[in-house]
Structure 1
Amino acid sequence: MADSLTVMVDSPPKPEFPPEKAHRQRKSNQDQIATHEPEHSPSTIQKAIAEFVGTYILIFAGCGAALINETLPLTIVGIAMVAGLALTVAIYSVGHVSGGHFNPAVTIALATVRKIQLKLVPIYVLCQFMSATLAIFTLKVLYHDKVDIGVTVTQFTSSTSHLEALVWEFIITSILVLTICGVATDHRGSKDLAGAAIGISVLINVIIAGPITGASMNPARSLGPAIVSGVYKNIWVYLIGPTLGAIFATVLYKFLRVSKPAKPEDRT
């Protein structure tokens, strides 16, 4: 009996695969999964359409609120709520398809830190500008002459200098994009609440800066109304300010980001 026990201890059952073969098997399975993943990811045209639709929702609702405010006062709080909720709706509707940028400044900034493929940048930006222009044109057609479409054009108050307006747009866009980086691009963030958090950041920014600069935070939001109305005064402020603010926020968050730990099987 003692001899038989000794045999059992000294001769454990052999594994089904040797360690080297098991590792190769796991690697093969991972490669097969990686091979099939692209088949289930959105195509470039699907992403472009999602950006177009999401931007349209955002601009149509946000600028529509500004038009309604001319006849039925919503106050800055009401306009801010519409803008924030519109972005939240757009993110939860099609954000999972394209990443939910709906803003050229966001797209350019994320490309700066390589969070989006460079080939998608011109496609996204073009779709965003075209969508914003179409949204304003739609509002103009629907409202006829009841309200001047010019009220949707972002302008800063006469008491505000160009530099001050630039700084305002830089800061509020930085807040918006820092929120996006924290909740949507970081593996530690709460993805389920990303849309709500980003929408709230827009609401806060519009309440604070809306009466001063119009709180654009989005070059498409400013260029669309400018094209339809033909008013391009100070447009450069709303193209440069948000873009620089967005880039600053993404670069800043790059230093705050923690690398995602490797899975145990990746270290074998």
Structure 2
Amino acid sequence: MAEERSMEEGTVGNSREERNGVSIDEDADLSIAVPFWHKVVAEIFGTYFLIFAGCAAVTVNKSTKGTVTFPGIFMVWGLAVTVLVYAVGHISGAHFNPAVTIAFASCGRFPLKQVPAYVAAQVLGSILASGTLRLLFGGHRHLFAGTIPSGSDVQSFFMELIISCFLMFVISGVATDNRAIGELAGIAVGATVLLNVAIAGPISGASMNPARTLGPAIVAGRFESIWVYMVAPTCGTVAGAWAYGLVRYTNKPPRELTKSGSFIKSWRMKNGPS
């Protein structure tokens, strides 16, 4: 079962065990565990702060006629993901994205029974963040911070599909492979989001996340082309997770994989605690 794996592979940037549905850091006292409801609350807070920061950049840029600028917007999205991975990655896995959660579950790297609660938490966090921005800036149509295709739905669909696949491929590398440098996971994932928004932002809005689109859409009551942002990121992330599975070859079980993929752990093993 996924819950009995030696590593909770749905956690970004941390080598963890999951026992009886509870996450355990392998470097910590095994008596210290993370209850499931803590994970759910962490996902609510993490998604809230992510959507608030990213959508606030969009809203402020529109309300101040370009003060933030487009480069500023994609930098905010990338940096927000980076800092939040480090903030709560060790608690909930730092998904913040229903598509990522579903993708991990599809390849057996996340407990299927936990998916509904995670998805609900992520959507709730996005709705709360979007509602906060509506209270702060009003509900003017021109300040809408959701994602709507600038061209055809088909064009945006394939753009979202490809960038979501790219994102999940990177996440899978840093979250499921113990040979990766886990301490740099936040930087890797944040940089990927930054690149994707820079590439696809002007075309599709670079959602990559059904919750990111759904929250603003629900609050504003605008559901134009909503299917694109529900289907494409989900299909893309599932494809990305399975694509990494094709290249993640090892003839050893997880417990026998080297721990030296983390240069910080390697240094500690050689030099001892400071």
TM-score by length of 2: 0.79
How far residue 254 of structure 1 moved from its aligned partner, in angstroms, is 1.0
Alignment-mate amino acid for residue 153 of structure 1: G
The equivalent residue for 2:225 is: 234
How far residue 40 of structure 1 moved from its aligned partner, in angstroms, is 2.3
Evaluate the alpha carbon distance shift between residue 99 and residue 179 of structure 1 in structure 2; reply closer, same or farther with a 3 A threshold.
same
Question: In structure 1, how many angstroms separate the alpha carbons of the residues matched to 2:252 and 2:160?
Answer: 36
Give me the identity figure in percent. Answer: 46
- Which blocks of at least 5 consecutive residues in structure 1 are unaligned? 1-33
Q: Given that residues 150 and 225 in structure 1 are in contact (C-alpha distance below 8 angstroms), is that contact kept between their aligned partners in structure 2?
A: no
How far residue 41 of structure 1 moved from its aligned partner, in angstroms, is 2.4
1:50 aligns with 2:42: yes
Q: How does 1:75-114 map to 2 (within 5 A)?
A: 75-114=69-108
1:117 aligns with 2:108: no
Q: Given that residues 184 and 191 in structure 1 are in contact (C-alpha distance below 8 angstroms), is that contact kept between their aligned partners in structure 2?
A: yes
Alignment-mate amino acid for residue 148 of structure 2: Q
Question: In structure 1, how many angstroms separate the alpha carbons of the residues matched to 2:174 and 2:251?
Answer: 15
Q: Given that residues 129 and 220 in structure 1 are in contact (C-alpha distance below 8 angstroms), is that contact kept between their aligned partners in structure 2?
A: yes
Question: In structure 2, how many angstroms separate the alpha carbons of the residues matched to 1:94 and 1:121?
Answer: 18
1:243 aligns with 2:221: no
The equivalent residue for 2:267 is: none
Alignment-mate amino acid for residue 156 of structure 1: P
Alignment-mate amino acid for residue 175 of structure 2: A
**Structure 1 vs Structure 2 CA RMSD:** 2.0
How far residue 136 of structure 1 moved from its aligned partner, in angstroms, is 0.4
Question: In structure 1, how many angstroms separate the alpha carbons of the residues matched to 2:89 and 2:133?
Answer: 24
Q: 1:59 aligns with which of 29, 51, 72?
A: 51
The equivalent residue for 1:22 is: none
SS at match of 1:40: coil
How far residue 189 of structure 1 moved from its aligned partner, in angstroms, is 1.0
How far residue 39 of structure 1 moved from its aligned partner, in angstroms, is 4.1
Question: In structure 1, how many angstroms separate the alpha carbons of the residues matched to 2:251 and 2:194?
Answer: 31
Deviations 1:182-234, CA, capped at 9 Å, x for gaps: 11221111100000110000100111100011000000000000000000110
Question: In structure 1, how many angstroms separate the alpha carbons of the residues matched to 2:245 and 2:142?
Answer: 40
Q: How does 1:134-145 map to 2 (within 5 A)?
A: 134-144=128-138
SS at match of 2:144: helix
Question: In structure 2, how many angstroms separate the alpha carbons of the residues matched to 1:77 and 1:217?
Answer: 18
Q: Given that residues 46 and 94 in structure 2 are in contact (C-alpha distance below 8 angstroms), is that contact kept between their aligned partners in structure 1?
A: yes
Question: In structure 2, how many angstroms separate the alpha carbons of the residues matched to 1:83 and 1:235?
Answer: 21
Q: How does 1:162-201 map to 2 (within 5 A)?
A: 162-201=153-192
Q: Which runs of 4+ in 1 moved over 6 A?
A: none
- Which blocks of at least 5 consecutive residues in structure 2 are unaligned? 1-18, 25-29, 257-274
SS at match of 2:112: coil
Question: In structure 1, how many angstroms separate the alpha carbons of the residues matched to 2:190 and 2:102?
Answer: 20
Question: In structure 2, how many angstroms separate the alpha carbons of the residues matched to 1:168 and 1:254?
Answer: 22
Q: Given that residues 67 and 151 in structure 1 are in contact (C-alpha distance below 8 angstroms), is that contact kept between their aligned partners in structure 2?
A: yes
1:156 aligns with 2:138: no
Question: In structure 2, how many angstroms separate the alpha carbons of the residues matched to 1:142 and 1:151?
Answer: 13
Deviations 1:106-129, CA, capped at 9 Å, x for gaps: 000000011111111001000000
Q: 2:32 aligns with which of 32, 40, 62?
A: 40
Larger Rg: 1
Alignment-mate amino acid for residue 50 of structure 1: A
Q: How many residues align?
A: 228
SS at match of 1:152: coil
How far residue 175 of structure 1 moved from its aligned partner, in angstroms, is 0.9
How far residue 244 of structure 1 moved from its aligned partner, in angstroms, is 0.2
Q: Given that residues 175 and 185 in structure 2 are in contact (C-alpha distance below 8 angstroms), is that contact kept between their aligned partners in structure 1?
A: yes
Question: In structure 2, how many angstroms separate the alpha carbons of the residues matched to 1:214 and 1:105?
Answer: 16
TM-score by length of 1: 0.80
Question: In structure 2, how many angstroms separate the alpha carbons of the residues matched to 1:227 and 1:162?
Answer: 20
How far residue 148 of structure 1 moved from its aligned partner, in angstroms, is 4.3
SS at match of 1:173: helix
